[in-house]
């Protein structure tokens, strides 16, 4: 059987979902032979592949222009896209800033300490969206894994199903937010 081509993405999140993914422990070793990790914060591959990904897990909400670009690229290249964790599913903590204009936030957080060239950098830094959005407001999402972070057991359950080519059956307590 050919290996499943897997990718993982980290948008606006704390990386806790990736930590929880690694927290699957020895199951991850058992599963390791069944997939090839094509792009992930856990590898050194810089660009998301143009095509040919079977499953992409996306952690984090969509908070800036670069996130939109990456999410769309991942959607286009992947057969299955999974929203991993509450930030991707609901916006969660990053979405707390919604309702406050981004310019005000940047000024409040970085403004008083600007010492280089006397102003805030505006080139090479992705533009913040007016509103942080959950992943399903930006691209079509096939499956949702809840939790902040999702418990390792729930990620394992979903991952095993996806590697087997089955639908992840997440029900009841598996769907707990928080």
Partner 1 sequence: MRESDVITIKIDGRPIATSAGKSVLQVAKENGIRIPTLCHLDGLSDVGVCRLCLVEIGGKLVTSCTTPVADGMEVRTDTEEIRQHRRTVLELIFAEGNHVCAFCPSNGNCELQDLACELGMEEVRVPYSYPRNRIDATHPRFLIDRDRCVLCGRCVRVCAEVEGAHTWDFAERGRSVRVITDLDIDWGDAGSCTDCGKCVEVCPTGAIIRKGAATAEMEKEPELVADLLERRGDV
Q: Which stretch binds partner 1 (CB under 8 A): 33-41, 45-53, 70-78, 170-178?
A: 170-178
Q: Which stretch binds partner 1 (CB under 8 A): 44-52, 73-81, 137-145, 158-166?
A: 137-145
Question: What string of DSSP letters covers 58-107?
Answer: EESBEEEHHHHHHHHHHHHHEEEEEEESHHHHH-TGGGGGTTS-HHHHHH
Rounded CA gap, 144 and 85, in Å?
A: 8
Q: In the set 106, 136, 138, 160, which binds partner 1 (CB under 8 A)? A: 136
Under rule CB under 8 A, residue 131 binds partner 1: yes
Q: In the set 57, 74, 83, 84, which binds partner 1 (CB under 8 A)? A: 83
Cβ-based nearer residue to partner 1, 87 or 156: 87
Q: In the set 9, 58, 134, 150, which binds partner 1 (CB under 8 A)? A: 134
Under rule CB under 8 A, residue 20 binds partner 1: no
The strand ranges marked E within the chain are: 4-10, 35-39, 53-59, 62-64, 78-84, 128-133, 143-145
**For the chain, what's the residue count?**
178
In angstroms, the Cα distances linking 143 to 52, 55, 123, 140 are: 19, 11, 35, 10
Q: How many amino acids of this chain bind partner 1 (CB under 8 A)?
A: 29
Under rule CB under 8 A, residue 55 binds partner 1: no
CB 90 within 8 A of CB 163: no
Q: How far is CA 6 from the centre of its chain?
A: 13
CB of 83 to partner 1, least distance (A): 8
Cβ-based nearer residue to partner 1, 61 or 77: 61
Cα–Cα nearest to 70, from 81, 32, 17, 119: 81
CB of 39 to partner 1, least distance (A): 24
Residues in contact with partner 1 by CB under 8 A are 83, 86, 89-93, 95-96, 98-99, 131, 134, 136-137, 141, 143-144, 146, 148, 170-178
């Amino acid at each position: 059987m050919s290996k499943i081509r897997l990718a993982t993405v980290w948008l606006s999140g704390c990386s806790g979902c990736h930590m929880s993914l690694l927290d699957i422990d020895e199951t991850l070793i058992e599963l390791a032979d069944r997939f090839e990790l094509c792009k992930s914060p856990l590898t050194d591959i810089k660009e998301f592949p143009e095509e040919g990904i079977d499953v992409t897990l996306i952690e984090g909400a969509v908070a800036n222009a670069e996130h939109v670009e990456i999410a769309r690229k991942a959607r286009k290249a992947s057969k299955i896209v999974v929203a991993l964790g509450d930030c991707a599913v609901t916006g969660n903590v990053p979405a707390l800033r919604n309702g406050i204009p981004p310019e005000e936030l940047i000024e409040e957080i970085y403004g008083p300490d600007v010492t280089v060239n006397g102003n805030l950098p505006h080139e090479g830094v992705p533009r913040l969206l007016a509103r942080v959005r959950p992943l399903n407001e930006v691209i079509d999402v096939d499956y949702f894994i809840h939790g902040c972070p999702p418990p390792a057991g729930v990620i394992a359950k979903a991952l095993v199903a996806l590697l087997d080519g089955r639908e992840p059956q997440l029900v009841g307590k598996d769907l707990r937010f928080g």
